[in-house]
Structure 1
Amino acid sequence: MTLGDDRHGHGPAATAQTVPHTRATLAADLRSLGVRPGSVLLVHASLRALGYVCGGAHTVALALRDALGPEGTLVVPTHTSENSDPEQWRNPPVPEHWWPIIRAEMPGFDPAVTPSTFMGALAELVRTSPGAHRSDHPQVSFAAVGPAAASIVAEHPLADMLGETSPLARLYERSADVLLLGVGHDSNTSLHLAEYRRADPPRERLGAAVRTAGGGRRWVWWTDVALDSDIFPRLGADLEATGAVRLGRVGAGPARLMDQRAVVDFALHWLTGDRRGSTG
């Protein structure tokens, strides 16, 4: 591998920088943005946006832990969206004759083993870190490290998967913060909690493969709220217009820090027609 090998995230990002981003510089950026020692922080991240980081995802995780301090808890989404009913796949869809094969052969979700999908390198690093805890939902699990980790991810039921009995609600109870690191509000999972809090939200049937106690697997079905993240960029823009989001940079990437309660409360007003919203 050479320094210019773009497949490993080097090259253009590295040559455009005067110095590499490091654990110390990223931690300083996070503190300047407003990450609080001792807080609970839910992070959604695309490391590519940060530029060249000496040590990659490992360095970013260390910088986050430094900014949070020993009493802080770091939480990441470790979703496994591929473990779902193939009939509902749209990006891209798969042929109908594939559906029974996928349902029969998809490995059963095992929180200790199953990797997250499309969540990025930081989520995977936190998931596999010593002392990490992960919730056991086969599609929308969360992983966490820190003093509050176990209580945040405990007992994640199939139905109400991002609602009042989910880790998102436990984050709300703990006045957690949300950090969007190099990503936009389309990745802001906390907005889904507001969808659950609407009166009589639309619902759909969902399915996933789970690991059984004997090491086998089975397919499970449940009914849950039909989610719509397509509206989140507009919702997020209106939220930012209220001044409730702290904007800055971490490394070379855009960063957004916000109080999760304010986010969810505003989103609920927005979704139910009061576009003036509320920030607490």
Structure 2
Amino acid sequence: MPAPPPTGPLVTRDTIAAQLRLLGVESGEILLVHSSLSSLGWVNGGAVAVVQGLLDALGPSGTLVVPAQSGDLSDPAGWANPPVPEEWWDRIRATMPAYDPLITPTLGVGVIPETVRTWPGALRSAHPQTSFAALGPHAHDITDGHAPDCRLGERSPLARLEKLGARVLLLGAGYGSCTAFHLAEYRIPAPLVEVGRPAPGGGWETVVEVSIDEDRFDELGHDFERDRPVVRGTVGAAGVRLFPVADAVAYAERWLAVHRPRGEEISHPRA
């Protein structure tokens, strides 16, 4: 039986760039992009064409930033999708490869960020679990100095993006993917957690971190979009949202303080 024809629309590098410009993406700006390739339609050239279109819209003076997370560099005791046998845990901890920004792949953020990570000239921040990758003139300023005990807080690229006036582009992605909201968690009372991961020089280490939790980010995003100016449109078949990082963080600080009050005790989760 012949395969069904592809589902459109046909999306190309130039249509991506043109539609982003119509939405208000400006040459020279800084964009933090959360994306879903499959939401766009039939993309001629796949993730490469999407990255090219984004770079075309931003121009040579613009900077493209993506999450480059590698959450699999974590304690196997907390793995649930799928779990691994408990008798494996010690051996996994002892042999897990340390984070290397050049070779550690992204996980769970989609093929577009992985394409940016491996793009010629891309820079990647140093946090072993919640790094960001960037292309453009501000890439070094954004990715440099990501503290190993600050996943998404004041010493992470998120705070740099806020200071530099960057905007978030949700390209077929929902508010549940909006990492900017996490910066607000560092500015309200939040519990601390112990996070395990492979140590840079080999072996295993545990660091104390602020707890982060995106479970209610879709609800937060709904209220944010209702109350604050958010550019809405489409690129290909994908729904798109465009808004300043600073607006999202400020709104999330107020919203989380009311809707998700949290204590400050140290907890000890498995991962």
Give yes or no for TM over 0.5: yes
**Matched length:** 259
Q: Deviations over 1:128-183 (max 9, x none)?
A: 11111001111001100000001100011121221001000000000100011111
Aligned amino acid, residue 223 of structure 1: V
In structure 2, what is the Cα distance between the partners aligned to 1:264 and 1:109?
Answer: 28
**Aligned match of 2:96 in 102, 106, 110?**
106
Q: Which amino acid aligns with 1:46?
A: S
Equivalent in the alignment of 1:169? 159
1:69-128 alpha-carbon deviations (Å, 9 max, x no partner): 111000011100010112222333333222212211211111111111111111111111
| Number of the residue aligned with 2:198 | 209
Whole-angstrom distance in 2 between the partners of 1:16 and 1:131? 32
Q: CA deviation at 1:209?
A: 1.3
Within the candidate set 253, 256, 260, 1:271 is matched to 256
**What are structure 1's unaligned runs of at least 5 residues?**
5-10, 276-280
Deviation, 1:251, is 1.0
Partner SS state of residue 272, structure 1:
helix
Q: Is the 8 A contact 2:93 2:203 kept in 1?
A: no
Aligned letter for 2:44?
C
Relative distance call for 1:34 and 1:210 in structure 2 (3 A) is farther
Quick one: which amino acid aligns to residue 116 of structure 1? T
Amino acid corresponding to residue 257 of structure 1 in structure 2: L
Distance of aligned partners of 1:101 and 1:274 in 2 relative to their CA distance in 1, 3 Å threshold: closer
- What secondary structure sits across from 2:231 in the alignment? strand
Shift in Å, 1:274: 7.8
Give the Cα separation in 2 of the matches to 1:223 and 1:34. Answer: 40
Q: Report the equivalent of 1:64.
A: 54
1:132-211 matched pairs, under 5 angstroms: 132-198=122-188, 200-211=189-200
Identity rate of aligned residues, in percent?
Answer: 49
**Could you state the TM-score of these two structures normalised by the residue count of structure 1?**
0.88
Between stretches 57-66 and 27-36, larger displacement belongs to 27-36
Question: What TM-score comes out, normalization by structure 2 length?
Answer: 0.91
Q: Return the match for 2:240 from 251, 255, 262.
A: 255
Deviations 1:225-267 (A, max 9, x none): 1111001010000001114221111111111111110000000
Q: Deviations over 1:9-43 (max 9, x none)?
A: xx56x2443xx211111111111122121111001
Inter-partner Cα distance in structure 1 for 2:85 and 2:255: 37
- Aligned to 1:97, the other structure's residue is in SS state helix
**DSSP-derived class of the 1:223 partner:** strand
RMSD: 1.7
User: How far 1:190 moved relative to its partner?
Assistant: 0.8
Structure 2 residue runs without a partner (length 5+): 261-271
Partner of 1:246: 231
Contact preservation (8 Å) 1:138, 1:210:
no
**97-106 or 252-261, which moves further after superposition?**
97-106
